[in-house]
Structure formats: C-alpha cells, structure tokens
Amino acid sequence: MTGQMKRNTNRRMFLTATASSAAMFAGCGALGDTDPQNTETPAGNETATPTATPETETGTGTPEETGTPSQQFDYTNRGEVLDDFENLEYWGTIQGDVSAETEDVFRGSQSVRIQNPAGGGAGMYKAYPDGLDLTKNNLSIAVKMEKPSPGKLAMEVIAPARSDHLVCRRYIPDAMDGWMRVDLGYTGLRGDPMLENVQELRIVVLSDGEPINFVVDDLRKHPKQTDKGRVVLSFSDSHASQYDVAFQELKKRDIPAMVAAVPDQINSDGALTTGQLREMQTAGWDVVSSPHVGTPLPEMSEDEQRRTIKQTKEYLRLKGFRKGMQFVALPYGQYNSTTLDLVDEFHEYGFAYGAGPNIVPPVGKEAVSTVSGADLNGAARMINLAAKYNQLTVVNFADIGKEQDVDTEHFNHLLDIIEDWQRQDKLEVATPSDILKLEQS
C-alpha cells in the first residue's frame, strides 16, 4: 500500500511539473506578445551533462538537390524533407531579421539566417492553413548556432492554437562551432495539443540581451518507429556509488542502464572497479567510453582528440567491454565539429547534455541529447513526454547517495515514475545497444 501511495504521489508531482513547465514556455514563440518569458539558463554539474532543464509542408522539398561546392557536411537521408528553405516566401518574421544564406549552407544551395543584434529574441514562423499532421512523425533540423553561445534552439508546434501547443528546446554548447543535426524532442506542452492539426511551426532563439545570430536548414520529418517511448539511464564519472547504490537498486527492479568508464579513474579510491563494471555488463548494462582526461575535448587539437577517443575505446576493447565500446559519453557535455566527426568515425552514438528528448532511434547520433537526473521535476517531465509522444529520454546521473548530486530517495522517485509508465505499456527502459538494434532493424 505504501509503495502504491508513493507512486501516485510521484505521478502527481510529475504531472504538476509538466503543467508548470508549459506555463514557462507560453511566451517562447510569441516574441512579439505582450508577456514574453525568458528561458531557463543551464548550469553545470556532471561530466556527461552540465545541468538544466529547458523550452518552433510540405516545403519546397528537393531531396536530390546537390550541395554547394564548398559544402563538406554529411547529412542524413532518413525521413522526408519538410522544408529545405530554398524558398522563404511562406516564412514570416517573429522578431529580428530573416534572410536567405547562400554562403553557409548545410544542404542544397540556401539556408536561412535569423539574427537580432539587439538580442532578446529572434525567430520566424510558417503557417499551415490546411493543417500539418505530425501524429506519426517527429522532427529534426540542421542548425549552426553562432550567437548566443551557448544557446538554445526552440521549435514551437502550434496545434492548433497557442492555447494548445508543444515546444522543443535543444541546448547547444559554446564550443560547438559548426553545423549539427538535432532531434526536436518535445520538452514542454500547454493545453491539449492535437498533432493531427498543426497550424504553425515557429523557430526561435531567445537571449538575455546578447546578440542573436544562427542559421537553420533541412527541416525533416521522421516516421515514428515504435509505439512506445524509451528511457536510457546513464551514469557518468565512474563513481563507486553507481555500483553500491544505483546498480543494487536497478538490479532489484530488473532495469538495465549504461555506465561511462573513465580509464584514469577505474580502480582508484571512490571509483568503480573493473570487476564491478564486468558485473554490471553481465547484468545487461552497456559499459561505454568516456574520454575524460581533465581537458574538454574541444580544447584539444584534432590529433589529440583522435588519440584520446581512440585510446579510450581501445581500453574498453582490451578489458572486454566490446558491446559498450560502440558508444561514447562526451566529457563535460562539450564538443565541437571535430569532436562530432570523430564520434562518427569511432562510435555509433555519442551522448552529451542537450536538455531534451530525442527521436527513437536518434537522428543526431553524434550528440544524442541527455537531461540531468539531478533535477527531479525536469527529468520526470522529459520521461513523461517521451512516454506520451514515443520519444527517447536519456537521464544522466553522477554521484548517488546521501548528500550527493542525486540522493537515493530522489533516484528511487524517478524509478517509480518509470515503472508506472512501464505498467501502462507506454515506456521501455533501454540501453544504447537496444536503441542501435532498433535502428538497424
């Protein structure tokens, strides 16, 4: 009885968090409205994730179009082009300046640059008078965030009015210096959105007075490949408490996870041991790479990054963690274009703080977004939205236990929430290996 009461209480906390979050986002897309509201600002606390919780058809689609001669960017052919931004006739300005960009493109001959030197906000929108049906699709987009840095890209999905909408927010770290594709997972909602009748998409960046300058391209929709959401539990920094506390609790519940192995810390005081990692692997966990050497990867040269990433993966191979070595948790949540290229070369998925859910399976594979487990309400909200909209939330934890980053009660609350969704057959707990298997199927 007590356990059931606790689960119900947690669920109420969880739904309250979702509702309050939706209120926060109410002013995001309407930068010209009378009561715009600011976004939350990320703060750091974990290796694989600095901490924080966040917050816009048929296009001119030309999938076969070739890139400009100077373009060196790879792109995914997954999904269908919703808008290639080759024609901006039907895009309106919310605030700032919206213009065609032909010198810096992700794909094709043109992208769109959105800027506001005065800061505050900048964005654009497109109306779909006949309705856009997104019930069976998720969205992704290519973005190059120049200012603010770090920044958050927001996509607001008006379905069908501002009283009923979803919002996607994606955090991009300050070190990121080029184009990247991001999954637009839902991070908040208001009212009762009807995705079969989307009337408007809004692409927005807000700032606290800093100049805004960013470029977007290749908006795509991707068919949902599953009828339920996924959650991956991630553990960074190789803390001993991840075995002593987290593993013991998860083993009781028959829940797998992923744990990032930091070679320089394994077998040291207060850290995981090789034997513990092997026990975790035997229980179904993925032991993934963590090239954590005290210096963020983007501060290294390309050769140094390559050597560090390659050596850490080789460490896992030699220790027998050959399934998990396909994946990497990026230290400090930091990466640049070089990092993402190397992740693509050596790994199937990279994981880094992004403040929101992902598509199942993820499209932006080199930097799959994680959220912070240290924020109970924020993590619960992202789990809820993943279950509701069949998306992937990766919740990252560092040290667990009394007076640590995440206390045991807090951790168990989140597990109760996950199990509540599992009983409703709306959510599955997965490992990166499981997600990759789904992708390959």
> 290-306, pLDDT tens digit by residue?
999 889 999 999 999 99
> 105-147, pLDDT tens digit by residue?
999 999 999 999 999 999 999 999 999 999 999 999 999 999 9
Nearest partner of 331 among 397, 236, 232, 246, judged by Cα: 236
Domain boundaries, the chain: 50-223, 229-440
Query: pLDDT confidence of 172, banded at 50, 70, 90?
Result: very high
pLDDT at 49: 38
The distance from CA 239 to its chain's CA centroid, rounded to whole angstroms, is 23
* Cβ contacts of 368 within 8 Å, gap of 6 or more: 183, 349, 350, 351, 352, 354, 358, 362, 392, 394
Query: pLDDT confidence of 77, banded at 50, 70, 90?
Result: confident
Does residue 260 surpass a pLDDT of 70? yes
Report the distance separating Cα 322 and Cα 305, nearest Å.
Answer: 21
Does residue 29 surpass a pLDDT of 80? no
Query: What is the mean predicted confidence (pLDDT) over 398-403?
Result: 87
Strand 349-353 and strand 327-329: the pairing is: parallel
pLDDT at 385: 98
Q: What is the pTM of this model?
A: 0.85
Does residue 158 surpass a pLDDT of 70? yes
Q: Which two tokens stand for residue 66?
A: 């070739």
Query: What is the mean predicted confidence (pLDDT) over 152-166?
Result: 97
Query: pLDDT confidence of 5, banded at 50, 70, 90?
Result: very low
Query: What is the mean predicted confidence (pLDDT) over 418-440?
Result: 97
The superfamily in CATH containing domain 229-440 is Glycoside hydrolase/deacetylase (3.20.20.370)
CATH assignment, 50-223: 2.60.120.430
Does residue 83 surpass a pLDDT of 50? yes
Mean pLDDT of the chain: 86
Query: What is the mean predicted confidence (pLDDT) over 239-250?
Result: 97
CB 411 within 8 A of CB 248: no
pLDDT at 341: 97
Q: Which two tokens stand for residue 352?
A: 């880094």
> 361-371, pLDDT tens digit by residue?
999 999 999 99
Report the distance separating Cα 202 and Cα 97, nearest Å.
Answer: 14
Percent of the chain with pLDDT over 90: 80
Does residue 265 surpass a pLDDT of 90? yes
Q: What is the Cα Rg of the chain in Å? A: 21
Maximum C-alpha span of the chain: 66
Report the distance separating Cα 202 and Cα 414, nearest Å.
Answer: 32
Query: What is the mean predicted confidence (pLDDT) over 18-44?
Result: 34
Percent of the chain with pLDDT over 70: 83
Q: Which two tokens stand for residue 350?
A: 């990279």
Count the neighbouring beta carbons within 10 Å of the beta carbon of residue 23.
11
DSSP string, 202-268: EEEEE-SS--EEEEEEEEEEEE---SSEEEEEEE-TTBTHIIIIIIHHHHHHT---EEEE-TTTTTS
pLDDT at 64: 34
248 to 112, 262, 267: CA distances (angstroms)? 50, 21, 19
> 337-359, pLDDT tens digit by residue?
999 999 999 999 999 999 999 99
69 to 62, 107, 215: CA distances (angstroms)? 17, 11, 18
Query: What is the mean predicted confidence (pLDDT) over 65-91?
Result: 71
